[in-house]
Amino acid sequence: GHQAEAARFQSARCLFVLLPFFLGVAQAVDRSNFKTCDQSSFCKRQRDIKAGQSPYRALLETMELTNSRLTLQLINDNNKVRLLLELYRLQGNMTRVKINELKPLKPRYEVPDVLIQDPPTEPLSVVAQDENGVVLSLGADEQRLIVSARPFRLDIVEGPKVLLSLNSRGLLVFEHLRLRKDTKSQDDAEDGEGAEKTEQQAAEGDQLKEEEELPGTWEETFKTHTDTKPNGPTSISLDFSFPGVEHVYGIPEHADTLKLKTTDGGDPYRLYNLDVFQYELHNPMALYGAVPVLLSHNTERTMGVFWLNAAETWVDISSNTAGKTVFGKMLDFVQGSSETPQTDVRWISEAGIIDVFIMLGPKPSDVFSQYASLTGTQAFPPLSALGYHQCRWNYNDQEDVRGVDQGLDDHDIPCDFIWLDIEHTDGKRYFTWDPNKFSQPKDMLQGLKDKRRNLVAIVDPHIKVDSNFKVHNEIRSRNFYVKNKDGGDYEGWCWPGNAGYPDFTNAEMRAWWASMFAYDQYEGSMENMYTWNDMNEPSVFNGPEVTMHKDALHGSWEHREVHNIYGLYVHRATAEGLIQRSGGVERPFVLTRAFFAGSQRYGAVWTGDNAAEWGHLKISLPMCLSLGLVGISFCGADVGGFFKAPSTELLVRWYQAGAYQPFFRAHAHLDTPRREPWLFGPENTALIREAVRQRYALLPFWYQQFYNAHRTGQPVMRALWVEYPEDSVTFDIEDEYLLGRDLLVHPVTEEGLKSLTAYLPGKREVWYDVHTFKKHAGGQSLYIPVTMSSIPAFQRGGSIITRKDRVRRSSACMENDPYTLYVALSPEGTAEGELYIDDGHTFSYEKNKAFIHRRLTFNDGVLSSSNLALDSQFTTASWVEKIIFLGARKPASVTLKTAGWSWGSETRVEFEYDSALEVLSLRKPGVNAGADWTVLLR
Amino acid sequence: MLCAQLLFPLSLFLGLSATVEVQRPRGVPLSKRQFYEEGKPFTCLDGSRTVPFDRVNDDYCDCKDGSDEPGTAACPNGSFHCTNAGHRPAFIPSSRINDGICDCCDTTDEYNSGATCKNTCREMGRRERESLQKLAEITKEGFLLKQQLIEEAKRKKEEKQSKLTELQAGKRDVEEKVEALRTVKETAEQPEKEAKERHLKAWEEQKAVIRMEKDKAKMAEAFLELDDDADGYVSVAELQSHAELDPNSDGSLTEEEVQGLLGGADKVDTSSFENIWGNLKDKYVSESQAENPSSLETAPEETKEPVTDNESEPYPEDDIGVEEDDEEEEDDDDDTHEDFEDKVRSFFTAQKARDDFEESERALREIDDQVKNIEKELSFDFGPSAEFTYLYSQCYELTTSEYIYKICPFNRVSQKPKFGGSETNLGSWGSWAGPDDNKYTVMKYEHGTGCWQGPSRSTTVKLTCGKETTVTSTSEPSRCEYLMEFTTPAVCQEPLPVNVVHVDGHSDHVEL
């Protein structure tokens, strides 16, 4: 991934276009290329409206209630425009609130293709009703939804407690579709002089003033770009109040802290997929992707708000305790006079409708399940994609690729993928190969296949306008390009020079795009070649804010309405292409830079064009944690940093951190010196090798975590508070995290560090250092001295983690290797875990139930493996070579019982015991990993 | 002999898997066979523990050093020995045993993975022997060439050194000659110098006269111009119209100020005007000049004698001959004919002396240049035996699909687009940059043309032994860091006294 960094262009014309980038190359982002709220007319308009009495009133007499759906009209007393409110109670403890114009001049955009189905509903019943409002039952736990009529507001309560209020600050704003004033006055003139009111207004019988039209309402200019806004103002806004909440999270993607900050006095968090050149840390500016999901959390409850809208969106956050010091809060507490802490959130979008899903938790895991039931879960990646990825812009030619592959073997560094960036193509024509540098792609791919490795080639969604380019000609002749406001094919500048942008919102277009990945269409492709979608925000070098003009057209919809979902569609069409090329057999692997709610279903994302700086290494944790909270588990940052050259120390530390993040890929900018792992002296090569080896040893654990994420929607990489929701110490922690619930990682992310302090959560937990097996009590901050080889990581007592300690050069090579079980005992002397095995790359696990899923439990001295999926069928050659008990007493004897005809017969198992560390190692139980067995410690 | 060697290992290979297992555990090199004695407890090679022999290669790692599992992938740090009959034996990491990838050419690493490996040892051995043989031939011939190069370099160096000595001796002569000629020149220039000084003085005097006359003319002109009513007096009113004369430059020329300019008088006649002209002339702008600024500049006098308006201009020495001629015409009356002949004679004498002197100086400079060049050349590190000397001041090219690459060893590397466009400097000679024990195998060229947002270009040149001196390939592995492969006999090592092919064959024999 790489942004409009100009020098690559040959054309003199584009020099002018890219001038701003030259000016901006200094160190960080050129902020002037991107709008502030003040420069975005709808955001400014909306934000100028302050909290107060809402002009909206619910017309209770219009209420209609079917089994699961309640509708009623809202009226704005200032302009008499009516809205239609729809309320649904959804299965799984969710409420959906939809607000649209009752009679819009034309349909307003409702985001399709994000929900995996029409969310199943549950009966909604009226508990009470009078002229002030309606009380509806939400079923569980005394939960009620209260609709207040004047002014209109919604409150969700549980018993006497208010969980969440909507429009309690009166910030429901709905800019209704209207005719342009000049057009209207013409109409009026035709109707006759003095006709001041529309019929509707006249019918209302009210004296209405023309709403004041602010500049930017019908046309807006940013820098040299004019947005013609033919539909005028269409923005919407709604406020949400969370009483008792001081912590909110989510709404990625921002290079900011895990815990969201209040936005008073600054810009709101912005959600607008943008290609930001050299992004800055710790600010609310928009980045490459947008997931409009916000989580609230306190010690009692976690909730979520999913704002389903694909237009440019801003989120304001304020808090009544934000300014208070700890002492101030204490004083309030002592005096007993404190107001309840409260966090207020306001969503503002430029177009579309209000469509909100309120996920009521109450546990973090419930919110994840609820959101997964709406938008789906993480795609289950091929096992190889969880290995190490070696990327660079660019590996120069086939010989270079061969050399890197060989270098990895020469230095014994495992790797599953080598990547090719844009230079591999013939003049940035995707789906083609440079005829000189990559003249025999199949030879190259076969070479990698012989090493059981894979390749990723980039395919970006901008298509070179070139009448000799087949892909362009086809898209043009099929009329698949996005159109400009005047109806011609939209064209913009990107890597190839002048480019067209296929309309990925069009299902026919996506089907055609998918067909392009067929082996006979994509010349030189093979089954071990996968795809990378970059620049799919979409990036348009000469467009406003380096993206597409908002008045460009996707069929009848404006780009304004679909902007944030464009990247998801590109990702989806590509992933579907990879599935189809194998006849639906093989799982795809596609990396995307732009994303939206639901993108988790299509593959991996990375945090875009970061830089080789310690701050960027550090921020990669909260950035991926935030994505995990909103369903996207397969996240990673460019190891080493994309821009600039990392110091050797930074590179090593980044490998160590990256080895414990879901997507593990080293990447580098074209203008930086080479940085393959063996180029920094034998000592550093050894440090990097060790980090990568730790990753590979843990692949079975990673794979099982992804299977779990795929099945349940629980994140792989988790903020501590997700597992310890009642421990408020964890609420701000973002320099360490959990993988699943059992592995706690605190990577070194600071230069020259000699020690660090890791928080080990859980007062009743114990944690075992995975490297030394030393036991530490939970509920404490642990001082840890670190050296260059340290990657502090701890296994939770009570867990069983499976590893393959025979690390080989790629994941495929390790397929049949035996497992080692790490049984870390809880203070009660118990442990449990899971083991998942399948073929590692096909959909057979789904279609044919071809997998092994086992529960491993240790209780009362008995460790047993039992089948979690009785109807599944799979055989593995892998066996259990070793079982290591951490925190165990020395047994007198160890015996093994296996299933089958010999069930019941016991064999003795040899063991070793380290009394200082309380580590018991069983030698070679030798049972098949898919079998039922028990081990008895006596 | 050759036939026998090829057939012998083949016949034995057919029974390999059976025999090797019996003789020693899988993956153990012959040199360590004695540590693995069938039926006897095995002690890890690091001595850390002893295990029953059935734990050797039982697919479980018992020894910290991995020595109990030479033939399985159980130990993370183990290594596996492939015999590779027909080719070269090798060690591979244990992790490559049964990983589905054929690493040993004799296929012994993939005994249980289902990978279908083909024994390629014979073929590889043959190819390697061939290429080794070829390499040996190249090395042999290259090494001979290298000897010639060394000889040549030695001769060249001696030549250069004697040339240097010669030059340095010659230089002393020339230096003396230069000094002598300088004296001759200075002597010869004496009369000319005097004549010149005399002339210069006359010139200065004449210039003063001319300037005065011009000033007078200008004054008269100014008087006439100023005396608007032609009454023979310049009055205060008449002068007031010339605002440029304002002494305090405040924009207004008052009566008082004008009176001051007129020396306190109300009006002046021509003779008094002469006295106050000094107050006016620096600022005075002629009315005609103001209206038509070019009219005076094109006056013949002005063009003929530009000197009068620019006193700082030096005496036109270079044009002395010509000036002399010009002056001659004008000064005909002043200078006698004798004087003239004298001057010409002294001029030609001096000119010759000057030419002689300059020529000798040039000769000295040339010698200096030659000395400098030779010293520079001698200062280069042309290798331990100066075998790289012959590359000096040569250039070699390689044409690729896009560019023509050029290396001029010890000077610079450059790149030029094949189809037009300017040359890019890929680095100037920096240093030898091979590893410490083999410094003279890599050259580094640095500080080439800068890269956009990046470092300046540099080139690493890898030298390999070859009969020809040529560029074999170029690449840009990292942005603006080029790599060039270059063959030259100068790096050819002395061929090994023992035949490589024979050693391989021998080892095969022993292994089996």
Burial class (CB in 10 A: 0-12, 13-18, 19+), A48: exposed
Contacts of A397 in chain B (CB under 8 A): 475
Return the pLDDT at B289: 57
The Cα angle at residue A586 between residues A583 and A592, in degrees rounded to 5: 110
For residues A245 and A296, the answer to whether their CB atoms sit within 8 Å is yes
Helix (H) or strand (E) holding A846: helix A844-847
Cis peptide before A151 (omega within 30 of 0): yes
Candidate from B60, B101, B454 with C-beta closest to A452: B101
Q: SS3 of B499, please?
A: coil
Cβ contact A807–B76 (<8 Å): yes
- Closest residue in chain B to residue A877, using alpha carbons only: B113
Return the pLDDT at B403: 92
Burial class (CB in 10 A: 0-12, 13-18, 19+), A434: buried
Q: Does A808 touch chain B (CB under 8 A)?
A: yes
From A316, A466, A534, A735, the catalytic residue = A534
Cα of B126 to nearest chain A Cα, Å:
23
Q: Does A881 touch chain B (CB under 8 A)?
A: yes
Q: In three state form, how does the secondary structure of A609-635 look? A: CCECCHHHHHHHHHHHHHHHHCCCCCE
Candidate from A5, A450, A814 with C-beta closest to B101: A450
With tokens 């070699």, the residue in question is B396
What is each CA distance from B401 to A38, B307, B404, B470, B474, in whole angstroms?
53, 64, 8, 18, 11
Cβ contact B479–A400 (<8 Å): no
Q: Nearest 10 degrees: CA dihedral of A689, A695, A696, A698? A: 140
- Closest residue in chain B to residue A22, using alpha carbons only: B453
Query: Any catalytic annotation for residue A409?
Result: no
Residues of chain A predicted below pLDDT 70 = 1-27, 140-141, 182-212, 322-338, 900-904
Q: Does A807 touch chain B (CB under 8 A)?
A: yes
Cα of A814 to nearest chain B Cα, Å:
7
Candidate from A452, A672, A806 with C-beta closest to B95: A806
Q: Does A784 touch chain B (CB under 8 A)?
A: no
Q: SS3 of A334, please?
A: helix
Rounded CA separation A9/A17 (Å)? 11
Distance of CA A809 to the CA centre of its chain: 29
Does residue B196 surpass a pLDDT of 80? no
Cβ contact A671–B451 (<8 Å): yes
Q: Which residue from A749, A708, A715 is spatially nearest to A624, judged by alpha carbons?
A: A715
Rounded CA separation B113/B107 (Å)? 11
With tokens 């799984």, the residue in question is A92
pTM of whole model > 0.80?
A: yes
Cα of B450 to nearest chain A Cα, Å:
12
For residues B113 and B102, the answer to whether their CB atoms sit within 8 Å is no
For residues B418 and B403, the answer to whether their CB atoms sit within 8 Å is yes
The dihedrals phi and psi of B404, each to the nearest 5 degrees, come to -110, 120
Q: Which residue from A638, A685, A692, A693 is spatially nearest to A665, judged by alpha carbons?
A: A638
What ipTM did this prediction achieve?
0.90
The tens digit of pLDDT for each residue in B255-280 reads 777 777 777 777 888 878 888 887 77
Cβ contact B401–A436 (<8 Å): yes
Cα of B58 to nearest chain A Cα, Å:
10
Strands A894-898 and A906-908: antiparallel
Cβ contact A817–B401 (<8 Å): no
Give me the mean pLDDT over the B107-120 stretch: 94
Give me the mean pLDDT over the B167-181 stretch: 87
What is each CA distance from B255 to A637, A819, A852, B7, B270, in whole angstroms?
86, 115, 117, 128, 20
For residues B449 and B395, the answer to whether their CB atoms sit within 8 Å is no
Q: Does A670 touch chain B (CB under 8 A)?
A: yes
Contacts of A808 in chain B (CB under 8 A): 73, 95-96, 99
Cβ contact B73–A450 (<8 Å): no
Cβ contact B73–A674 (<8 Å): no
Rounded CA separation A760/A767 (Å)? 7
Name the E strands within A311-402. Answer: 313-319, 342-349, 354-359, 388-390
Rounded CA separation B82/B89 (Å)? 6
Q: Is A223 left (phi over 0), alpha (psi -120 to 50) or beta?
A: left
From A609, A727, A735, A742, the catalytic residue = A609
Q: Does A396 touch chain B (CB under 8 A)?
A: yes
More confident residue, B3 or B41: B41
DSSP A537-583: TT--TTSGGGS--TT-EETTEEHHHHHHHHHHHHHHHHHHHHHHHTT
Q: Does A813 touch chain B (CB under 8 A)?
A: yes
Rounded CA separation A830/A764 (Å)? 13
For residues A205 and A129, the answer to whether their CB atoms sit within 8 Å is no
Q: Does A771 touch chain B (CB under 8 A)?
A: no
Residue partners of A747: CB distance under 8 A and separation at least 6: A621, A653, A656, A657, A660, A736, A791, A792
Contacts of A7 in chain B (CB under 8 A): 452-453
Return the pLDDT at A337: 52
Cβ contact A452–B481 (<8 Å): no
With tokens 């030393």, the residue in question is A774
Q: Does A849 touch chain B (CB under 8 A)?
A: no
Residue of A2, A696, A813 to mutate, interface with B, max B Cβ within 10 Å: A813
For residues B443 and B464, the answer to whether their CB atoms sit within 8 Å is no
Q: Does A412 touch chain B (CB under 8 A)?
A: yes
Candidate from B95, B454, B477 with C-beta closest to A809: B95
- Closest residue in chain A to residue B115, using alpha carbons only: A450
Cβ contact A808–B476 (<8 Å): no
> How many residues would you count in chain B?
512
More confident residue, B124 or A6: B124
Q: Is A555 left (phi over 0), alpha (psi -120 to 50) or beta?
A: left
> What are B's interface residues with A at a Cβ cutoff of 8 A?
58-60, 73-74, 76, 93, 95-96, 99-101, 113, 401-402, 451-455, 475-481
Q: In three state form, how does the secondary structure of B159-187 look? A: HHHHHHHHHHHHHHHHHHHHHHHHHHHHH
Using CA of residue A629, residue A632, residue A634, residue A639, what is the dihedral sign? negative
Residue of A3, A401, A806 to mutate, interface with B, max B Cβ within 10 Å: A806
Q: Does A411 touch chain B (CB under 8 A)?
A: no
Cβ contact B453–A7 (<8 Å): yes
Cβ contact A671–B454 (<8 Å): yes
Give me the mean pLDDT over the B169-180 stretch: 86
- What would the two tokens of residue A325 be? 């010091």
- Start-to-end C-alpha separation, chain B: 18
Contacts of A451 in chain B (CB under 8 A): 101
Rounded CA separation A815/A696 (Å)? 12
Residue partners of B400: CB distance under 8 A and separation at least 6: B418, B474
Q: Does A405 touch chain B (CB under 8 A)?
A: no
More confident residue, B176 or B488: B488
Query: Any catalytic annotation for residue A609?
Result: yes
Rounded CA separation A428/A497 (Å)? 9
Cβ contact A881–B74 (<8 Å): yes
Cα of B502 to nearest chain A Cα, Å:
28
Return the pLDDT at A200: 47
Candidate from A670, A672, A806 with C-beta closest to B76: A806
Return the pLDDT at B498: 52
Does residue B284 surpass a pLDDT of 80? no
Residue type, position A732, single letter: D
Cβ contact B60–A808 (<8 Å): no
Q: Which residue from A448, A400, A446, A403 is spatially nearest to A421, judged by alpha carbons?
A: A400
Rounded CA separation A795/B24 (Å)? 42
CB hemisphere CA count around B435 (13 angstroms): 2
Candidate from A674, A808, A924 with C-beta closest to B60: A924
Q: Which residue from A856, A880, A854, A852 is spatially nearest to A867, judged by alpha carbons?
A: A854
- What would the two tokens of residue B273 be? 């005007």
- Closest residue in chain B to residue A810, using alpha carbons only: B99
Rounded CA separation A318/A306 (Å)? 18
Q: SS3 of B450, please?
A: strand
For residues A870 and A738, the answer to whether their CB atoms sit within 8 Å is no
What is each CA distance from A361 to A304, A658, A790, B482, in whole angstroms?
7, 31, 37, 59
For residues A264 and A337, the answer to whether their CB atoms sit within 8 Å is no
Cβ contact B477–A396 (<8 Å): yes
Does residue B504 surpass a pLDDT of 80? no
Cβ contact B451–A809 (<8 Å): no
Q: How many CB pairs under 8 A join A and B?
A: 67
Candidate from B95, B101, B479 with C-beta closest to A807: B95
Q: Which residue from A334, A336, A304, A315 is spatially nearest to A94, judged by alpha carbons?
A: A304
Does residue B396 surpass a pLDDT of 80? yes
Rounded CA separation A858/A889 (Å)? 13
The tens digit of pLDDT for each residue in B313-322 reads 444 444 444 4
Helix (H) or strand (E) holding B304: helix B300-304
Contacts of A436 in chain B (CB under 8 A): 401-402
The tens digit of pLDDT for each residue in B408-458 reads 999 999 999 988 889 999 999 999 999 999 999 999 999 999 887 667 999
Name the E strands within A209-353. Answer: 220-222, 225-227, 236-243, 247-250, 269-271, 293-297, 302-307, 313-319, 342-349
